Amino acid sequence: MSHITNKNLRLGEEDLFKNVLLVCPQCKVQKRLNIPSKILKQSEHITTVSIPTGLICKHHFQSFVDKNGKVRGYQLGDFEFSKIEYIESREFEGDKEEVDDISEFTSLPFFQDILTLLRRSVDDREIIGCAIFTSNGKVIYSSIPHNTLLDTIKEFEVRNEKKLHSVIKMLLELKNHQKVCSEYIEVHNKEFILILLFSDLVNFAIGTMFLKKIVNKIKKLT
């Protein structure tokens, strides 16, 4: 997966990405990363950006970024993952306001079990990345590459605008022949959309088979 790290954005890209200076809390190495603006702006609270080893330095850490692209804090990561992740978070460091449904959902042990399952499912030859959206297309979690994630968000925005909430599955093929397979799920009285990104080596039949297996595993976690 390629990461967008150039400091100077091309015309129009400043609307798509926030150029954020990140500093490793362990060794203090700095690097600017372009984080999708939609991911930050749609968050009611703080977005956790999980930085894998090798992207900035030899350490894995998490940064907490607000909707304006301001880093609110860091912590060293407990779980090593090979791809950059975005996770909708609670308010950072003790905000006393009542959290919304999404933040409540992401704080459940069940949600962490789902993330562990998705992380173990990623394979660069087959499943390139995973994401969890709300039923109206808001990103709760993603390990899908930047540009593909933005394209996927756009598709769900169109679905939301056309009020296609009765659609429970969606299959997309990208120009590079990668496949996006998604399915609506309801567990623990929470509704969300599971999205898997497959390599160009995978056809829709195999993709939907993988998707069904992961959906069944998630339901067994309840």
CA distances for 57 relative to 22, 99, 106, 163, angstroms: 11, 33, 28, 44
State the pLDDT at residue 4.
38
State the DSSP code for 98: P
161-196 per-position pLDDT tens digit: 666 556 678 888 888 899 999 999 887 777 889 999
Spatial contact of 130 and 122, defined as CB atoms under 8 Å apart? yes
65-91 per-position pLDDT tens digit: 998 899 999 998 776 666 789 888 755
Spatial contact of 84 and 52, defined as CB atoms under 8 Å apart? yes
95-154 per-position pLDDT tens digit: 444 345 677 777 778 888 999 999 988 876 789 999 998 877 788 899 998 888 888 888
Do 212 and 159 lie in a common domain?
A: yes
Helical ranges in 162-203 per DSSP H:
none
Helices 109-121 and 204-220 meet at what angle, rounded to 10? Answer: 150
Asked if residue 188 belongs to a domain, the reply is yes
Spatial contact of 32 and 21, defined as CB atoms under 8 Å apart? yes
Asked if residue 102 belongs to a domain, the reply is no
Do 197 and 139 lie in a common domain?
A: yes
| Residue 46 pLDDT grade (very low, low, confident, very high; cuts 50, 70, 90) | confident
Long-range contacts, stretch 185-191, CB < 8 angstroms, 24+ apart: 185/215, 185/218, 185/219, 187/110, 187/218, 187/219, 187/221, 187/222, 188/108, 188/110, 188/222, 190/101, 190/105, 191/134, 191/135
Backbone angles phi, psi at 166, to 5 degrees: -80, -10
Report which of 145, 16, 17 is spatially closest to residue 83, judged by C-alpha positions. 145
Asked if residue 93 belongs to a domain, the reply is no
1-41 per-position pLDDT tens digit: 334 344 444 545 557 889 999 999 999 999 999 999 888 88
Q: Could you say which of 88, 121, 144 is where a domain stops?
A: 88
Report which of 140, 122, 157, 120 is spatially closest to residue 191, judged by C-alpha positions. 140
Do 211 and 131 lie in a common domain?
A: yes
Cα angle: 204, vertex 207, 211; to 5 degrees = 135
212: enclosing H helix or E strand: helix 204-220
Q: Which two tokens stand for residue 49?
A: 């950006």
Question: Which residues constitute the domain of residue 81?
Answer: 13-88
Residue 94, pLDDT > 70, answer no
Do 118 and 182 lie in a common domain?
A: yes
Asked if residue 97 belongs to a domain, the reply is no
101-114 per-position pLDDT tens digit: 677 777 778 888 99
Do 150 and 83 lie in a common domain?
A: no
Do 126 and 42 lie in a common domain?
A: no
Do 138 and 207 lie in a common domain?
A: yes
Rg (CA), the chain: 17
Cα angle: 27, vertex 31, 35; to 5 degrees = 125
